[in-house]
Structure 1
Amino acid sequence: MENVDLNLLVALDVLLAEGSVTAAARRLGLSTSAMSRTLTRLRAATGDPLLVRAGRGLVPTPYAASLRDRVHALTREVQTTLRPRNDPLDVAALERTFTIRANEAFIQFFSVPLCAAIAEASPRVRLRFAPKPNKDAAPLREGLIDLEIGVIKSSAPEMRSQLLFHDRFVGVVRTGHALLAGRSVTARRYAACRHVVVSRKAHVTGPVDDALEALGLHRTISVVVPAHADAMRLASHSDLVALVPSFCLGHGLANHPAMTVGLQSFELPVQTPEISISALWHPRMDADPAHAWLRQMVTSLCHVAYPDA
């Protein structure tokens, strides 16, 4: 297919509107001779004279007359397409599906208030939460995922990210657990309990175990589950001690599901690194108003729960 010069489309639109090479040249800021050469190119491209002499003026051929409205519409469409976007987003009328990839903990504890806020602001928007089996950036690059949320240890260099909040791990046990019975939670008493941990990998130890090992202590891991909600459920019905991010307790979240009934939390007796939860997206979505609105909704929700983030 031959390359088409879209400037010819604009020139044809003006020529058909003006019916004069001189007037068309003036309107486009060209010389009359340059406009004449453009008309010659148009005649060669279309295989039609387009404008022919009639007395002192020019008149369109039947073919040119049949093109007038179509050419004008195409020209306006091209100009609109290439014009910078400045139309305000009508959130209430927005109709779109956004796919968010996050781990089970974020979905479990943030999806309810997020869905409620978005349904109120934009009832035609659909949210799809996708599982997060790994941190592969390909779905973001390919447009299969709009937004990824989680701990970003490393990412593709072109990705954009925004910190949502900082968090920390806390311990969780059933109400009335002996660990919290009147005495302080020491590292030794904590390590002596049976524990449930969250992991999808064969390696089930982490920063807590490193901190305990530095004190010459070792905890007993009795159960391994894939999600924090599972660990909390087990802890609420047994003597197992769970380790979860504090956001799993739902502090500061409106419309939060009641997941902490029958549970008590406590500060860990050892130091563990802070958790940074961020949003990640592909740079092609930067200027998309609807995507920017989604990012703002997620950020606002997280800042309500964590105002110091």
Structure 2
Amino acid sequence: MSKIKIPYIAPSEITPEAVWLSRRKWLLQAGAGVAALGAGGLVPDLSAWAAGQQSSALPAQPNPQYWLSNKLTSEKDVSSYNNFYEFGTGKTDPLDYAGKMQTRPWTVSIEGEVAKPRTFDIDDLLKLASLEERIYRLRCVEAWSMVIPWSGYSLATLLKQVEPTSKAKYVEFVTAVQPDNMPGLGDRIIDWPYVEGLRIDEAMHPLTMLVFGVYGKVLPNQNGAPMRVAIPWKYGFKSGKSIVKIRLLEKMPVTSWVKIASNEYGFYANVNPDVPHPRWSQATERRIGDGIFAPRVDTLMFNGYADQVASLYTGMDLRKNY
């Protein structure tokens, strides 16, 4: 296969001074080191979703245990300033073009090292929330750029349905490919489909979320409808969008950005202010909505979730395993 060329992107789009802080996978599409996950004890009415009405309500309830900020990024910014390269490399391309993506019907297959491989309809996935209402909740975190109230539940709830085997060491996420509806696929910046992955213990951590909504509404296309993942202690590019396949694997998958530029984007991608990107510092951050002249603040280790997740990396060299 011919070598993939990385496109030129203006410094205003990729540097920490560019409001959005780094192209760090060009920082997050909906929440980068990210954000906040879903909630509530209520399973929403799915009829509006089935009709493709993405403005339908998806009730959510804040959980104080995971609420790290009282200031949310505006819904307008969250839904209009995104990275979703299937629709183009511009920050507004997803808003402009993602409306054509077909999200119904939608299925997600789970395969690989599992005892019960299965293909789920999107409605069935959302209904799983009723099995463990205590997990269906809101989490909000100071993110590198945005603070976002996602609605969803822990990925572990789904993975338990297929019974991972002892060989399942990693979890791979594969994004949809719709050539007629995704104009960015013509720009071969990525060897499509987009692929991301986690270690199995990261995937089973209760903070790793399947996301179906945001701001109390069904997830918009540009934010990864109808289902994405969000890992709040990692940079946003780890959070695969519009997922159609989940594979449990024995060996570490080669993820999309590692394949393109492994010297800049590692497999783990934990928020770590002590490890600079090769082209900029990550020690401080500025958030969308605060204004370009707002003072920068210190970046928090693991995006503020060190107490919950640091034990996952005991004994690891987090500079080598960036």
Q: What TM-score bracket applies, with the shorter chain setting the length?
A: under 0.3
Taking structure 1 as the reference length, the TM-score comes to 0.22
Q: Identify the structure with bigger relative contact order (alpha carbons < 8 Å, sequence gap 6+).
A: 2
More helix by share: 1
